[in-house]
Structure 1
């Protein structure tokens, strides 16, 4: 793997936005509506400046940016409704813990199967440890089998599974 991870920069905006939207369109098919993803219209302002999130990109010298991911400190105000808040009962159980959410993990279709998603996840796990978080929370769709498999392979534990969504937790 010749790809390296670095922090997101403002100049990465359109490439990262396109990468995330392409991945979502692939997953959702004809039901996909990009207008539900207002949070990625200005990633730097919304995530980096407003939420103090860690946003990273994976790039290689030949192809440029081929992956991305976000580590969002919780609680966080979601003004766009693009990611859900933790259920009340789960939040009560985790009171007193410093929590973050891993989200917007995406790898370009032509670069999947090379361990890049694991590389991004491991980088974000290390960042969460360095920032003093106790737990990482992740939500994904039940039908997104590649996401389900990778989170399990990386040591995330299922805390809730429904017909549509699976909620994971990684204790640091």
Structure 2
């Protein structure tokens, strides 16, 4: 859930959606005002510039990624399972924020890259704490990235490569690796 309230949340959500759907070039003030259902001046009342919107997007992403890393640490189903199953979800608000930040990073925006790296650090730190094994934590992170990438290309519930049951097989394989590791 976006941490802003009211119309500011609506404007930020509209901005994220436009960046994801049309890229940074398609996220114009006119398009944003139309998507948010406000006038241009009403939009600028909440965010003084498009740069201010980018900054708000990055702040929102950091807040949500921190919250997600905390959920990962506390997940009753286990941090590895949580991370991999959540990697299947392409439509969550967090995934949309990540995707928007990636789109912005592709333009060479160093701030976008910095926030994405900071989010990755949150997740890897939580995975290292959970597994006790930095190599296994990196493997979980990279497998989750692969799951997420393939979820984007998924044809739906009958996808022969990706299903929750397949993720369960990955969790079991990673658990077996952990049990066999000298640190596990």
Which category describes the TM-score, using the shorter chain as reference length?
0.3 to 0.5
TM-score normalised to the size of structure 2? 0.32
Using CA pairs under 8 Å that are at least 6 residues apart, name the structure with larger relative contact order, 1 or 2.
Answer: 2
Larger Rg: 2
